[in-house]
Structure 1
Amino acid sequence: MAPFAWRPYLPILVFLCHTAAHLHASEVIPGTDELVYNGFFKADLNLDGSALLINDLLSLTNMPDGTNGHAFCSYPLSFQRIPGGSISSFSTTFVVTIGFRRYKGHGLAFMLSSTNDISDNSAGQFLGLPSSSSDDHVFFAVELDTVLNPEFKDIDNNHVGINVDSLLSVESHTAGFYDSSGDFKSVELRSGKPVQVWVDYDSKSYRLNVTLALYSMPKPELPLLSTPLNLSSLLSLSSLYAGFSAASDKFTSDHYVLGWSFKLDGEAQPLDYSQLPLGLVKDLKHHSRFQYSGEMTILGAPTIIPAVVLIALAVLICRYLRNRKEDKEFEIMCGPPSFTYKELFTATDGFNDKLLLGKGGFGRVYEGVLSNSAQSIAIKRVSPESKQGKREFMAEIAILGRVRHRNLVQLLGYCRYKKELLLVYDCMPNGSLDKYLYNKGKPVLDWAQRLSIIKGVASGLCYLHEDWERVIIHRDIKASNVLLDNSMKGRLSDFGLARFHDHGVDAHTTRVAGTWGYIAPELARLGKATKATDVFAFGIFMIEVVCGRQPIGMAVDGGEPFVLADWVLSMWKSGSVTGAVDPKLEDYDQEDAELVLKLGLLCSHSLPKLRPCMRLVMLYLERGARLNEFCPASLSVDPDEDKEIDHVLCSSGASTITVLSGGR
């Protein structure tokens, strides 16, 4: 028999070898919108393409020649029990393996689809997902992608992505997890080792979390992806099907699902690892190895050895050329490196932990002194596993390397060493503002310091929006991104998410970026960042600094979570907006505090057209323009109501702003 002739019969042979059935492994809990499959023996699933059940194992692809496979729950789920009612949250977890064969897998995806009959799909790199959406077919997917798309060379070919009605991910991250100390550990999806994924969606906060870990590990506390995402239009459909999709290209690719748990409005039931068909997967792996060892015998050693040498040489050459291309691309956008690794190594005494200023998802920050000038510097040492990608740091270098303002942290240069990227800044010895607002070990900032910091950040942001040669949208204004210099003056930092465009031209950013609590409502809905979305974040920032409380947090009495801006507005409605001022402030200017709080509420107005531009904000803060009186009701305009609203005039000559009352 030819070497490949019996491959189609492999699932049947393995099935016959596994006669012990786990009848209790699969369970559909009636009346609870809950699925629990600890293995898939006799599971009630709708299968198409090359998908099949091999005893307890769900195999999505196991055949060559460009096949795809889908497996959906046979009945639809309802995420909106009453038409027009609230949308249900959902939680799901599943264990999968990808690869085993000589030709690795391309990846698979968990899906919520408006249909369980996907005919518009493609094999190979598209994971069996629809290549386009239409009015009668919409979907949401979390993809485990293991193939490089040649059309999008910057996309990692071992990543987890979030897709909505498109093959382009709205958010993605290299596959892996964050351990208990916050360090990132990468996971090779193609390794054939089982991995577990958790997907949790909160329909009230529009927050989607995706977490990944190695098989049988406890769920990591920090999710791999956490992004604002409004799925209301999809989940409000009368019926949705939950399931999986995968595809292989012209070679055989193995995509298996070992277990799956799903629940509406609650946490998915943990999987029982003792019942998952891990032994069956190992048997499939054994048979695959036997088959390919037979192929190698036919080829013979004299043929294989030269071929292996040539392949290894080709890989090395390709890697070298790719690195050369990346270096050239980096220098075109960012200019040549300003420092050598030796200079920075010496400046930090070999990156001594005693000089460590802090660490985060990007890596570590060290304090140092340049030996040739005795200048104090801060060095951000970016790890290869950074949550931020190369593009984000290239953007930061390209933008910060060219702007100059007393209220922006100055980037002095960068260095690339092997796989590391090192960014060099002016040293901000007093650290970030959030530590002074929330760390009990830090001294309390008085009113003069807080007002000075607010004015400084406003000045820096006005420069970015109005005065630089192009418009720079920061996209991540928050207290932790404001650093304090020797004089406790505020400087805006971290331009990794920033984008710029010409004056008079609309921004083209369409990806939601920023920090939850500072994200404008239109940004969460449409994903388009503008100067107005920066103004919204700055308004929340002003309120945060005055109140000494985080934008979203728990009530002081330990009650329900609360939104800071809504709480300040309620204080104003009750008669005293200054009642929201940080109680740790023993003395403050009541008139100034009232102005800043009201201005913060106006800047964070739900309608972007009613937010003042940063030049007007500066005029108000410096008393160069008078903020007209307006009532709290004018801040509650419903964007769906057809009310006449005056537009905000934003120019350097404007001195007043009028807001018509258009409350709910």
Structure 2
Amino acid sequence: MTFVLSSTMELDLHHLYRAGQYVGTPGTSGNDSKSGDQFFVAIEFNGIDDNHIDINVKSMVSVGSLIKNFYRSNTKIQSTKLSSGKPMQVWLDYDSQVQKLNITIEEFDEFQLSRPQPLPQFSSSVNLSSLWSDSDLAYAGFSASGQENCNHYVIGWSFMVNGEAPLLNNFALNQVLANLPVENKQKQEHHISTSSLVTVVLVVSIVLVSCNVKSWMKGNSGHEKYEIECELPSFRYKDLLAATIGFNKKKMILGEGGFGRVYKGVLAVSKQSIAIKRVSLESKQGMKEFMAEIAILGQLRHRNLVRLIGYCHHKQELLLVYDYMPNGSLDSHLHNRDKPIPVWAQRLCIIKGVASGLLYLHEDWEQVVIHRDIKTSNVLLDDEMNGRLGDFGLARLHSHESEAHTTHVAGTWGYIAPELARLSKATKASDVYAFGIFLLEVVSGKQPIEVKADGGTFLLADWVLDAWKNGSIIDAVDTRLEEEYETEEVELVLKLGLICSHSLPKKRPCM
């Protein structure tokens, strides 16, 4: 029995039910002419002949043959056989950075709740990049060949690209083992006295670490590679086409930016309203941002973050599907005369919501998420005018124990911290700076940078700071609020905005 990764689903099944070396892999019908444009790697578990495991790359000529000893109880190595009928658990780990495949195998233990820590019994240099040489897709699964007195079972498997495969439910697996057909149990017992029977039961966990998935932007950047990790559902293109009335620009468009357009849609079956971000094929930077947004926002769950609910990959297009926010972006309400002006209670609620979401990103999630583009146009409003932070295309991750990495300067002028412009290092403090400017903008109703009538430049933070120094910080409040606010509240928010946007990052508070 083999675990197979293949560049095609058109497997040759000619030998699948025959004993012998072929296991239903591409180009193995005795004529290898088909294998010239088909790439596969097969990890073969063979207990019939001499109890070995082979790695076969593009042909049935093995690049590695191993294992006669298996781990037991996590650390102890014990001699056993694949043909023993005992369930085995296998971990396959591939690292594309060093092009190495590691294999660890041990007897299945229903009481083991974590992955074993010992070194793999076997490592082999294997280059899997050809899996995606001509396609965006690769296929994973199992195939087998055998004899009448040979039974193979896969009772559980777990698979992950870019990350650690989720642990299997040992209790459920043990229930499956207990309910195997009685005849199979009898054959296992019969094996004690005869060597003619083989029963292979595998529990498999496969991890492909940092596999490079080919760019979906073939037209503009076919030679570049992007990394993506995604556990979100995939939508059918025709369903999104119908939901947006053919991406109707007059009726369904919500907005447009450097990345492309955002459309409103209504799913035909569930009648759920959605927002669809459609990448622009002219934007190479947009593709990188989309990949980041899938990888990061797809894993985050917080009531004050816009929820990414799925994606669609169709030919050369990539579309992201979000919860629909019926009240649009906050900046349109603050600066667009066609939208109703938020009252103070609504503004304060939005501020608290964004603060809560940012606290989750900085402190409460398993990694630190630096948003890098906090601004009013990236705060969307639901049907109750609650604020949700969105657009994670520029976001970066690092662990809670490490510091942020140096990167190129990204963000929006007016919200970019002074040290970020100098040192090109986005940190929690630079996010706090942008949040401070956001606070000042929400209270004052003024944009961070404006051109004055005389041609000079208006800087919001400087203007509010001068008002505070002159003892009249209340003068920075949006005049359209018409004094329907608590003076202490607006003063508190303005002063928070000033301290968050302090020129020295060490002077700023954490979230």
Could you say which TM-score interval applies, normalised by the shorter chain? 0.5 to 0.7
Q: How far apart are the structure 2 equivalents of 1:565 and 1:575?
A: 16
Match of 1:63 in 2: none
Match of 1:552 in 2: 449
Q: How far apart are the structure 2 equivalents of 1:471 and 1:398?
A: 14
Match of 2:134 in 1: 321
Match of 2:277 in 1: 380
Which of 490, 512, 518 aligns to 2:387? It is: 490
Kept in 2: contact 1:409–1:492 (CA 8 A)? yes
Cα shift at 1:504: 2.0
| Alpha-carbon displacement from aligned partner over 1:550-572 (angstroms, at most 9, x marks no partner) | 111134x6562121110101111
Amino acid of the residue matched to residue 420 of structure 1?
E
Match of 1:562 in 2: 458
Q: How far apart are the structure 2 equivalents of 1:319 and 1:462?
A: 39
* Residue 398 (structure 1) aligned with residue 295 (structure 2): yes
Kept in 2: contact 1:366–1:380 (CA 8 A)? yes
Structure 1 residue ranges (4+ consecutive) displaced by more than 4 angstroms after TM superposition? 317-320, 322-325, 327-332
Q: How far apart are the structure 2 equivalents of 1:554 and 1:487?
A: 34
1:284-303 equivalent positions in 2, closer than 5 A: none
Cα shift at 1:390: 2.1
Amino acid of the residue matched to residue 446 of structure 2?
R
Kept in 1: contact 2:228–2:294 (CA 8 A)? no
Match of 2:142 in 1: none
Kept in 1: contact 2:233–2:309 (CA 8 A)? no
Alignment size in residue pairs: 297
Secondary structure of 1:475's counterpart equals coil
Q: CA, structure 1 residues 336+425, in 2 after alignment: closer, same or farther (shift >3 Å)?
A: closer
Q: How far apart are the structure 2 equivalents of 1:579 and 1:349?
A: 48
Q: How far apart are the structure 1 equivalents of 2:314 and 2:379?
A: 28
Which of 411, 418, 427 aligns to 1:514? It is: 411
Q: How far apart are the structure 1 equivalents of 2:447 and 2:367?
A: 32
Match of 1:574 in 2: 470
Match of 1:371 in 2: 268
Secondary structure of 1:388's counterpart equals helix
1:114-125 equivalent positions in 2, closer than 5 A: none
Q: How far apart are the structure 2 equivalents of 1:515 and 1:331?
A: 25
Secondary structure of 1:321's counterpart equals coil
* Residue 356 (structure 1) aligned with residue 244 (structure 2): no
Q: How far apart are the structure 1 equivalents of 2:348 and 2:454?
A: 29
Match of 1:584 in 2: 480
Match of 2:362 in 1: 465
Kept in 1: contact 2:418–2:503 (CA 8 A)? yes
Q: CA, structure 1 residues 603+332, in 2 after alignment: closer, same or farther (shift >3 Å)?
A: closer
Kept in 1: contact 2:228–2:295 (CA 8 A)? no
Cα shift at 1:318: 12
Q: How far apart are the structure 2 equivalents of 1:397 and 1:384?
A: 17
Q: CA, structure 1 residues 336+478, in 2 after alignment: closer, same or farther (shift >3 Å)?
A: closer
Match of 1:409 in 2: 306
Q: How far apart are the structure 1 equivalents of 2:480 and 2:394?
A: 33
Amino acid of the residue matched to residue 294 of structure 2?
I
- Tell me the percent identity: 68
Kept in 1: contact 2:264–2:324 (CA 8 A)? yes
Across the aligned residues of Structure 1 and Structure 2, the Cα RMSD in angstroms comes to: 2.1
Secondary structure of 1:389's counterpart equals helix
Secondary structure of 2:479's counterpart equals coil
Q: How far apart are the structure 2 equivalents of 1:505 and 1:399?
A: 18
Match of 2:378 in 1: 481
Q: How far apart are the structure 2 equivalents of 1:535 and 1:600?
A: 9
Secondary structure of 2:229's counterpart equals helix
Which of 325, 329, 345 aligns to 1:448? It is: 345
Kept in 2: contact 1:363–1:380 (CA 8 A)? yes
Cα shift at 1:346: 1.5
Q: How far apart are the structure 2 equivalents of 1:542 and 1:339?
A: 37
Kept in 2: contact 1:361–1:387 (CA 8 A)? no
Amino acid of the residue matched to residue 321 of structure 1?
D
Match of 1:186 in 2: none
Secondary structure of 2:300's counterpart equals coil
Kept in 1: contact 2:226–2:288 (CA 8 A)? no
Cα shift at 1:510: 2.0
Cα shift at 1:358: 1.5
Kept in 1: contact 2:231–2:298 (CA 8 A)? no
* Residue 503 (structure 1) aligned with residue 400 (structure 2): yes
Q: How far apart are the structure 1 equivalents of 2:303 and 2:401?
A: 25
Secondary structure of 1:528's counterpart equals coil
Note the residue ranges of structure 1 that are not aligned, 5 or more in a row: 1-316, 615-664
Amino acid of the residue matched to residue 565 of structure 1?
A
Cα shift at 1:388: 3.1
Q: CA, structure 1 residues 331+373, in 2 after alignment: closer, same or farther (shift >3 Å)?
A: farther
Q: How far apart are the structure 2 equivalents of 1:503 and 1:479?
A: 27
- The structure showing larger relative contact order (alpha-carbon pairs under 8 Å, at least 6 residues apart) is 1
Match of 2:169 in 1: none
* Residue 538 (structure 1) aligned with residue 435 (structure 2): yes
* Residue 523 (structure 1) aligned with residue 420 (structure 2): yes
Cα shift at 1:363: 1.2
Q: CA, structure 1 residues 492+320, in 2 after alignment: closer, same or farther (shift >3 Å)?
A: same
* Residue 436 (structure 1) aligned with residue 333 (structure 2): yes
Q: How far apart are the structure 1 equivalents of 2:243 and 2:416?
A: 38
Kept in 2: contact 1:499–1:509 (CA 8 A)? no
| Alpha-carbon displacement from aligned partner over 1:137-181 (angstroms, at most 9, x marks no partner) | xxxxxxxxxxxxxxxxxxxxxxxxxxxxxxxxxxxxxxxxxxxxx
Amino acid of the residue matched to residue 342 of structure 1?
K
1:5-20 equivalent positions in 2, closer than 5 A: none
Cα shift at 1:330: 6.5
Q: CA, structure 1 residues 341+331, in 2 after alignment: closer, same or farther (shift >3 Å)?
A: farther
* Residue 334 (structure 1) aligned with residue 230 (structure 2): yes
Kept in 1: contact 2:279–2:286 (CA 8 A)? no
Q: How far apart are the structure 2 equivalents of 1:560 and 1:327?
A: 44
Kept in 2: contact 1:337–1:416 (CA 8 A)? no
